[in-house]
Structure 1
Amino acid sequence: MPVSDGDEPYSSNWATKYRIVDGDPGGLFTVSTGPSRLEGIITTAKPLDFEKNNRYNLLVTVENEVPFATPLPTSTATVQVNVEDRNDAPVFDPVEKVVSISEHLTVDSDLVLYTAIDPDIMAHELMYRMDRDPAKWLDINSETGMIKTKHPLDRESPFVKDGKYRVLILAIESDEIPATGTGTILIELEDVNDNSPTVDDTPLKLCNHDPRLVRLAVTDRDGPGFAEPFSVGLLEESKMYCTAQMDKTGTVVELTFKAMREQRNFYINLRVTDAGGLNQDHVIHVTMNEDSCMTWGDFCVRP
């Protein structure tokens, strides 16, 4: 917006400054003094939206940098800003949707309907596509946006972080140059007790005259409430060879073997149960050596 001034060129009495006083309640525009100091430059301060308002009438005032010596009317100008339409990308609502389901949801079940809208006045038809599904568990209806399970879910999968599985969905316009919107589904997988506890069943070699306390760590892939503390029991004839109990943490089996006069090979049958009541039987092969204890290395301890 060029202006003119009759004061001494390049002085403060001659230079100008500008203000938008009406027509911009949302603060979408700013006005500044241009390099010549006799021009105002209007720029956008925030993104414009054709669908909300396609025309603005801005009332702009201009003054000198130094106030007038005598009262003078303030010069004003009205600037009309016409907003041109562009093809906006589809928008998912919400941009991130949280869904809580059991990890045992059956295959081919409806998970969630997730759709987008085209904000353009001349809206396009939308097609939906799965963009990121790292475990390949899901499928989406390209027309409706309904997401279904195509494979079993697993909360203990390496693709699940802190019990949450993240999926990205695309909404694509049916246009020659289609705009694409992206939405996120955050699936919170509710844990079920579907993993039994396991122990290290590596064969044991012990000294028959001086057997030692053996500690076996217990692991369980399930989350809190379905894992520790564990319990343990001996099955069949195993009680004649040793006793079994859990340590104070409830995560380690402690086997105390009985001394024997001769070399023996036998099996220990353990049943380990998790906090949710799911158990697993384990068989451990044990060798008791009679004469050559030191040949068994770290497995045999003699005073």
Structure 2
Amino acid sequence: MSVIRRGSDTSSEGTSVIQVTATDADDATYGNSAKVVYSILEGQPYFSVDPETGLIKTALPGMDREVKENYQVVIQAKDMAGQMGGLSGTTTVSITLSDVNDNPPRFTKTLYEFRVPESNEVGSSVGVIRAMDADIGQNAEMDYRIIGSDGPGMFDITTNRSTQDGIIVLRKPLDFERKRQYSLRVQVENSHINPRFYSMGPFRDEATIKIVVEDVDEPPEFERASYVMEVKEDAAKNTVIGSVSASDPDDKNSLVRYSIDRRTDMDRVFNIHAGNGSVFILRELDREENAWHNISVIATEFNNPRQISRVPVYIRVLDVNDNAPTFATNYETFVCENAKANQRIQTISATDPDEPLAGHRFFFGLAQDAAGKANFSVRDNKDNTAGILTRRNSYSSLQKSVYHVPVVISDGEFPMQSSTNTLTIRVCTCDREGNMKLCNAEALTARAGLSTGALVAILLCVIILLMIVVLFAALRRQRKKEPLIISKEDVRDNVVSYNDEGGGEEDTQAFDIGTLRNPEAIEESKQRRDIVPETFYPPVRRPVLPPTRDNNGDVRDFINQRLQDNDSDPTAPPYDSLATYAYEGNGSVAESLSSLESVTTEGDQDYNYLSEWGPRFKKLADMYGGDDSDRDS
């Protein structure tokens, strides 16, 4: 059989490892047939076996796993008490020595050297060192630490647990110009130390690390992280308000040029001298507009313009008393007609955009030119407020409805500033308690909170609404008018509708049918397109004698004459039925020959008038002595 057994390195001689047992099927009570004896065939001189029990033990002291870790031991079991002729069997035992921490870690070299640029950031890795340990697993875990350095706090060392490497980390910024080399003394030791092996010596090792700092072209450095400057708001242009200073930290000590980042000063209020860093103003300042200005100054290496650095500059504008106090609000008050003398009607206060260190102190009074004839007085309350008082017992809105009181307000700063503010006081009718009952229109408007602009806006809205109503009514009225063409299918009644027979289908320019449909739409100034105006061809009118039975011979001449007149008249229509027989009148014996009577009130048209034409014409000719030849006329 094969058995795997772990031993322990550095075990002493005779240390038990494992016991093997062999069995024999012979009868143990009969002689030595079942008596087994154990012996070792392979594994000397490291191991031995007890002949009777089969217990395997170490035969040599101080076995070392780091020298040999695995062993193969062959054990033989033989009956007949091991005598000649006995039967035997063998088994193989695999023995592996387990590790103990009996080896210290050791650096691969005693001196390590690293080169690092001075521009390396804090927290970055400077270099990696490694120590070796013959043990394995937990016994090979180790810790690194710095036990000596000529730059305290500049570096630190940590352990990578997966690789057991020591990593040197930068803790402070490097500066080639200040220190170009560092020396460290580091130590490594096992994390888990077995006290049994202290006698073997220290389980640690030491090494020296040399760190060389390399020079890098660095941007200019300002003397301060930020600058604060102050200037009065009345300072003149080109006044210097302060300066900044920067230098090249490299050994070459390049010259530095200064400029202002215009993205922080887009209004170009400030400028800086390129050579010495003096900051001055380009335009007048106003503290009430901007009390602080935050700009950024740029320093650039003259030899390498790519090397630049910035510093913030905070400029505070100091206050100067350059603003006069004014009313705190737009006061508008009233006085009762039954007011008494020395009665307070209003309390006023003032405001000033300036900010004196000791606070504001305002003084109130009447303007000098109005003090002698004033109807009101101003009493300073000594607390930056004042009261407006009446100077007589009564006021009349009929005599004067509005008073304008000029109030002078001054401050107590140097130079003193003052302004004259007008207070509007309206005269109103009040009750006994002093509550306003009736006032003029302007006062009522003011009390109601409506300004002149608001009234104008309301009036404009009313006018616009009225215009919209009028326009809507006009549109509705226009929609109700009769259309020019009632129906496209109703064009057959042309003779009946426009009271004229027309000239047939060829007479397309004679009349505007739409106009004839709606006679109200006819324009008096519109002339017909198919006739010549009468002003160019005045009609020839001859005296007409009414026909009688005594002048029957003249009927023929009458009719012929009328036909000739109408044929030669350029203003006559291009047809002759209506123009020729329109003179019959209601008293004619022959009655009317016009076809217009065929139109009834119900709108039905009689088209049989053509069949009635012959008899009516014959009747007319007989009355006036005509013959059949006259009918052609």
Q: TM bucket by the smaller chain?
A: 0.7 to 0.9
Query: Residue 269 of structure 2 contacts residue 283 of structure 2 at CA under 8 Å; is this kept in 1?
Result: yes
Residue deviations 1:117-174, cap 9 Å, x none? 12122333322111223663211122221211211222222x31xxx44332111223
Separation of aligned partners in 2, 1:213 and 1:134: 51
Match of 1:240, SS state, is coil
Structure 1 CA distance, aligned partners of 2:150 and 2:238? 53
**Which residue of structure 2 lines up, in the alignment, with residue 244 of structure 1?**
378
Separation (CA, whole Å) in 1 of partners of 2:380 and 2:220: 58
**8 Å CA contact retained: 1:218, 1:253:** no
Would you say the 8 A contact 1:194–1:222 is kept in 2? yes
Post-superposition offset of 1:232: 0.4
Distance 1:177 1:150, change over 3 A: closer
CA shift in 2, pair 1:115/1:150, >3 Å = same
Q: What corresponds to 1:267 in structure 2? A: 404
Match of 1:4 among 132, 135, 150: 132
1:184 aligned to 2:329?
no
Cα distance between partner residues in 2 of 1:299 and 1:246: 27
3-state SS of paired residue (1:32): strand
What's the secondary structure of 2:370's corresponding residue? helix
Residue 273 of structure 1 aligns to a residue whose secondary structure is strand
- State whether structure 2 residue 78 is matched by structure 1 residue 78: no
Q: Is the 8 A contact 1:115 1:145 kept in 2?
A: yes
Gaps of 5+ in 2: 1-128, 430-436, 449-633
More strand by share: 1
Q: Distance in 2 between matches of 1:75 and 1:241?
A: 106
CA contact (8 A) 1:203 1:286 kept: no
**Matched residue type, 1:260:** Y
Distance 1:134 1:225 in 2: 31
Task: Report whether the alignment pairs 1:224 with 2:356.
Answer: yes
1:86 is paired with a residue whose SS is coil
Decide whether aligned partners of structure 1 residues 278 and 35 sit closer, same or farther in structure 2, where only a CA change above 3 A counts: same
CA–CA distance in structure 2, aligned partners of residues 137 and 199 of structure 1:
32
Larger radius of gyration between Structure 1 and Structure 2: 2
Alignment of 1:1-303 (within 5 A): 1-7=129-135, 9-11=136-138, 13-67=139-193, 69-70=198-199, 71-72=201-202, 74-131=204-261, 132-133=264-265, 136-157=268-289, 159-160=290-291, 164-174=292-302, 178-199=306-327, 202=330, 204=332, 206-209=334-337, 213-225=345-357, 228-235=360-367, 236-238=369-371, 240-247=374-381, 249-250=383-384, 252-257=385-390, 259-263=394-398, 264=400, 265-276=402-413, 277-289=416-428, 292-293=438-439, 295=441, 296-297=443-444
CA distance, structure 2, for counterparts of residue 170 and residue 34 of structure 1: 43
Compute the displacement of 1:14 (Å). Answer: 2.0
Contact 1:227–1:274 under 8 Å retained in 2: no
Deviation at 1:243, TM superposition (A): 2.0
Shift of 1:27: 1.2
1-side partners of 2:379 and 2:277: how far apart? 54
1:204-257, Cα deviation, whole Å (9 max, x unpaired): 36254166722333110111357622110112235622121344641x343234
Runs of 5+ unmatched residues, structure 1: none
- 1:59-79 Cα shifts (integer Å, max 9, x gaps): 211111134622337422222
Is the partner of 1:99 in helix, strand or coil? Answer: strand
Counterpart amino acid of 2:377? T
- 2-structure distance, mates of 1:223, 1:46: 46
Instruction: Give the Cα–Cα distance (whole angstroms) in 1 for the partners of residues 387 and 365 of structure 2.
Output: 11
Q: TM-score, normalised by structure 1?
A: 0.83
Aligned length: 294
Of Structure 1 and Structure 2, the greater helix share is in 2
Cα distance per residue 1:103-127 (max 9 Å; x no partner): 2222112222222112122333322
Normalising by structure 2, we get a TM-score of 0.42
**Structure 1: distance between partners of 2:305 and 2:227:** 28
